[in-house]
Chains A and B, each alone.
Chain A
Amino acid sequence: MAPTRDGFGEGLVRAGERDENVVGLCADLTDSTRMSAFAEAFPDRFFQCGVAEQGMATVAAGLGISGKIPFIASYAAFSPGRNWEQIRTTISYNDSNVKIAGHHAGISVGPDGATHQALEDIATMRVMANMRVIVPCDAIEARKATEAAAKIVGPMYLRFGREKTPVFTTNTTPFIPGKAEIFWKGASPKCVIFGCGPLLHNALVAARELKKKKIGVVVVNLHTIKPMDEKVVVDLAKQCGTVVTVEEHQITGGLGGAVAELLARGHPTPMGFVGMQDTFGESGTASELIEKYGMGVDSIVEIVKRVVDKK
Chain B
Amino acid sequence: MLLAAGSGHSAGPLGMADIFAAFYFHILNHNPKKPLWKDRDRLIVSNGHICPIQYATLAYAGYFPVDDLKKLRKIGSPLQGHPHRGAAPGVETTSGPLGSGLAQACGVALAGRLDEKQYRTYCFVSDGEQQEGNTWEAVLFAGRHRLDRLTAVMDRNMIQIDGNTEDIMPLRSLREKYEAFGWDVLEIDGHNIREVIDAVHEAEAIQTQPTMIIAHTIPGKGVSFMEGDYHWHGKPPKDDEAKAALKELRTLGDRISSE
Known contacts: A66-B112, A68-B111, A90-B100. The answer to whether A61 contacts B141 by CB under 8 A is no
Tell me the complex Cα distance, A89–B93, Å: 10
A54 touches B86 (CB 8 A): no
Contact partner of B93 among A48, A55, A65, A86, CB < 8 A? A65
B94 touches A90 (CB 8 A): yes
B104 touches A62 (CB 8 A): yes
Nearest chain A CB to B41 CB, angstrom units: 13
A63 touches B137 (CB 8 A): no
Interface status of A64 (Cβ within 8 A of chain B): yes
Tell me the complex Cα distance, A12–B106, Å: 23
Report which residue of A50, A56, A67, A94 has the largest number of chain B beta carbons within 10 angstroms of its beta carbon.
A94
Contact partner of B140 among A23, A47, A52, A95, CB < 8 A? A52
For chains A and B in complex, what number of residue pairs have CB atoms within 8 angstroms? 103
Tell me the chain B residues, 129-147 only, with Cβ under 8 Å from chain A.
133-134, 137-138, 140-141, 144-145
User: Which of under 10, 10 to 19, 20 to 34, or 35 or more describes the interface residues of B?
Assistant: 20 to 34
B100 touches A86 (CB 8 A): yes
Tell me the complex Cα distance, A62–B103, Å: 7
Known contacts: A23-B114, A85-B97, A86-B100. The answer to whether A50 contacts B144 by CB under 8 A is yes
Tell me the chain B residues, 84-116 only, with Cβ under 8 Å from chain A.
84-86, 92-97, 100, 103-112, 114-115
Interface status of A49 (Cβ within 8 A of chain B): yes
Chain A residues bordering chain B, tally (CB within 8 A): 31
**In chain B, what residue has the closest Cβ to A93?**
B94
Tell me the chain A residues, 128-174 only, with Cβ under 8 Å from chain B.
none
**In chain A, what residue has the closest Cβ to B139?**
A55
Question: What are the residues of chain A within 8 A of B134 when measuring CB–CB?
Answer: 54-55, 58, 86
B111 touches A95 (CB 8 A): no
Tell me the complex Cα distance, A185–B27, Å: 66
Tell me the chain A residues, 76-93 only, with Cβ under 8 Å from chain B.
85-86, 89-90, 93
The DSSP consensus for interface residues of chain A is helix
A59 touches B86 (CB 8 A): no
Known contacts: A61-B104, A62-B103, A62-B105. The answer to whether A93 contacts B141 by CB under 8 A is no
A59 touches B107 (CB 8 A): yes
B114 touches A45 (CB 8 A): yes
Contact partner of A47 among B95, B104, B137, B145, CB < 8 A? B145
Per-residue contact bits, chain A 27-58, to B (CB 8 Å; 1 contact, 0 not):
00000000000000000110111101011111
Nearest chain A CB to B130 CB, angstrom units: 15
Interface status of A125 (Cβ within 8 A of chain B): no
Question: What are the residues of chain B within 8 A of A47 when measuring CB–CB?
Answer: 110, 145
Nearest chain A CB to B177 CB, angstrom units: 16
Per-residue contact bits, chain A 260-275, to B (CB 8 Å; 1 contact, 0 not):
0000000000000000
B106 touches A59 (CB 8 A): yes
CB pairs A–B below 8 angstroms (10 shown): A52-B137, A54-B100, A59-B107, A59-B138, A61-B100, A63-B107, A65-B104, A66-B111, A68-B107, A94-B93
Could you tell me which B residues sit within 8 Å of A by CB distance?
Answer: 44, 84-86, 92-97, 100, 103-112, 114-115, 133-134, 137-138, 140-141, 144-145
